[in-house]
Chains A and B, each alone.
Chain A
Amino acid sequence: MLEVTGLRAWYGEAQALHGVDVRVAEGEVVTLVGRNGAGKTTLVRCLIGLHRQAGGTVSFLGRDVSRLPAHQRARAGMGWVQDDRGIYASLTVEENLLLPPKVSDRAWTLERIYEAFPVLAERRKASGSTLSGGEQQMLAIARALGTGARLLLMDEPSEGLAPVVVARIGAIIREIKATGVGVLLIEQNVKFAATVADRHYLLSQGRIVETLDNADLRRREGELLKHLGI
C-alpha cells in the first residue's frame, strides 16, 4: 500500500535522506531502526507531508501523493502517531478522538475505542494533558484508529513507557495488523520490534543499509545494539 522510491530530503543545510526505498504492504508491520540522526523521523515526516521532500516519489494505495499537503494525505488514509504523542492539552480526551475527520468506513466508533481502551472512557472529559504517558500513547493510537486510517506511521510508541505498557502497545499493534492496516514503526527497542514487526529496515545516515527479518534481527541483536549506540 505504501511504496517509497528514491526519497530525498534536506534537513537545514544537510541532506538527511539519500534516496530511500521503503515498502509496506496491507497488514504488514515494518520497523525503521537506526541511531539518532539517521533520518527516521525526517522520513516519516516526509511521508505524512510535514517535511518537504527534495526528490523521489511516495505512492500510497496506488496513488502518487508526493505533492499532496499533509491534510490531504491524512484524508487519503495515512495516520500519524507522533513521537511526543501529540495530545492536545486544550482539548478533552474525547475531543482529541473526535478532532480528525473520518477517512474510511473502517473508522473505529467511539464505543469500540472505549471498549478497547477503557481507561480513555473513564477520562473522556479530562484534558488530554492530564493523562499519563502510557494513556497518552493509547489515546494517540486510538485517535488514528478512529479515523479509519489504512496505514499508521508510528514514531517510537514504546519510548519512555513501563514494560507492562509496552507489552500492551505491542498487543494493540498486532490487533491493528490483523485488521489489515499497515504499520510503519520507528523503533529503537529492538526486542520490542521483533515481537510486533514482519520486517525491519536499518537506516543509517539517510540510507537504508539493510533489510532484516525477525530471525536476522534476533541473531544479530548484539551487533545492532552496538550500532544503535544503546
Chain B
Amino acid sequence: MNAVLQYAVQGLAAGSFYALAALGLAIIFGVLGVVNFAHGAFYMLGAVTAAVLLDTLALPLWWSLLVVPVLMFGFGVVVERLLVQWLLRLDPLYNFLLTFGLTLVLVELVKQRYGVSGLPYKLPGALSGRVDLAGVVLPRYQLFVFLFSVAICVLVWVVMTRTRVGMIVRASTEKPELARALGINVGRWVTPVFGFGVALAGLAGVLAAPFRAITADMGNNFAIILFAVVVIGGLGSIVGAVVAGFLVGLVEAFGQAYAPTFAQILIFVLMALIILVRPAGLFGRKEATA
C-alpha cells in the first residue's frame, strides 16, 4: 500500500510537468492553430534558466517559480513576433519545420554554452526530505510539485471559464473566423497567448529542475511524451491536456515500478487504445480534429 502511494505521488509529480506543458501547448494550438514542436525545448530552457539563476545569482527555487515564467513569456513573445507569426498564413508543414528547427537550434546553443554533463540543482531545505502522512512516508518535493501544478491548472481554468479573456480564447479556439466577424480582434491575442503557453512550459521546467537531470537534451524525450499526452487528452482541449498529463505521469511511474522495460511503450499503447476508441482523444471535440 505504502509503495503504491509512493508510485502514485511520483507519477503525479511527473504528470505535473506534462500537465503544465500540455496546457500551454493546448492553448497555443487552440488560438494559433500552431502545433509547437519546440515546447520540449522551452521546458528545457525553463530548467536551465532556473539552474543558471541559482548558480550565478543564488536565486532560490521560490523566486525562479516566478521569475523564469516571466522571462519565458518574454522569450515567447520575441519568438512569436520574429518567427511564429509568419506560420499563421503558411502551409502546416512549415509549422513543423520551423518549430522543430528552433528546437535543434536551442538545444545546440545550450550544449555549446553549458556542455552535455548536466547542471546541478539543489532543493531548498524546506522542500527536501520526506513527510510522514499518517504512516505513509512521501517525498516532500513531489507532493509540492503536484499541489503547486494543480493550483496553477485551477487558476488557468478559472481564467478560462470566468473572465472575458478566457471567453475570447475559447471563442477563438472554437470558431476563429466567427470571432473575427463578431468584432473580436483575434490577432491581438495571438502574441500573448503564445507567450503564456511558453511560460507554462518554462514553469514545468523549473519544477522539474530539482527532480531531473538538467541537460540540453532533457526536452527531447519530454516532447515525445508530451505529444502522446496531447493526443490522449484531445488536441486543443484544455481539460484534456491536464487530465491526460497526470494520467500519463501515473502510467509512467507504475510502468517503471512494475514493468521497467515497458514503461515508455505503455504510454504509447495507451495512446493507441484511446485513438482506437475515441479518435479525437478523451476530451477532444470532433470538429477539433477536422
Docked-complex contact B178 and A86, CB < 8 angstroms: yes
Are A49 and B171 also in contact (CB < 8 A) when A71-B186, A89-B285 are?
no
Q: Which of A74, A90, A143 has the most CB of B within 10 A?
A: A90
Q: Is the interface of B mostly helix, strand, loop or mixed?
A: helix
Docked-complex contact A69 and B180, CB < 8 angstroms: yes
Q: Is B167 an interface residue (CB 8 A)?
A: yes
A69 — nearest CB in chain B belongs to which residue? B180
Find chain B residues with CB under 8 A from A90 CB: 170-171, 173-174
Docked-complex contact A71 and B171, CB < 8 angstroms: no
Docked-complex contact A99 and B184, CB < 8 angstroms: yes
Per the bound structure, the CA–CA distance linking A95 and B285 in Å amounts to 19
A-B contact count (CB 8 A): 63
A91 to chain B, nearest CB (A): 6
Q: Is A103 an interface residue (CB 8 A)?
A: yes
Q: Is A100 an interface residue (CB 8 A)?
A: yes
Choose among B170, B175, B183, B285 the residue that contacts A100 (Cβ–Cβ < 8 A).
Answer: B183
Docked-complex contact A74 and B177, CB < 8 angstroms: no
Find chain A residues with CB under 8 A from B289 CB: none
Find chain B residues with CB under 8 A from A103 CB: 183
B234 to chain A, nearest CB (A): 13
Docked-complex contact A71 and B170, CB < 8 angstroms: no
What 0/1 readout, one digit per residue, does chain A (73-88) give for beta carbons within 8 Å of chain B? 1110000101000101
B234-275, CB < 8 A from A: none
Find chain B residues with CB under 8 A from A95 CB: 167
Q: Is B8 an interface residue (CB 8 A)?
A: no
Q: Is A98 an interface residue (CB 8 A)?
A: yes
What 0/1 readout, one digit per residue, does chain A (34-75) give for beta carbons within 8 Å of chain B? 000000000000001110000000000000000001110111
Docked-complex contact A86 and B184, CB < 8 angstroms: no
In the A-B complex, the 3 residue pairs with the closest CB atoms: A74-B183, A100-B182, A70-B180
In addition to A74-B181, A82-B181, 4 A-B residue pairs with Cβ atoms within 8 Å of each other are: A50-B177, A80-B178, A98-B164, A99-B168
Cβ contacts A to B, 9 pairs, < 8 Å: A49-B180, A50-B177, A50-B180, A71-B181, A74-B182, A90-B171, A99-B167, A100-B182, A100-B184
- Identify the A interface with B (CB < 8 A): 48-50, 69-71, 73-75, 80, 82, 86, 88-91, 95, 98-101, 103, 143, 147
- Identify the B interface with A (CB < 8 A): 164, 167-168, 170-171, 173-175, 177-186, 285
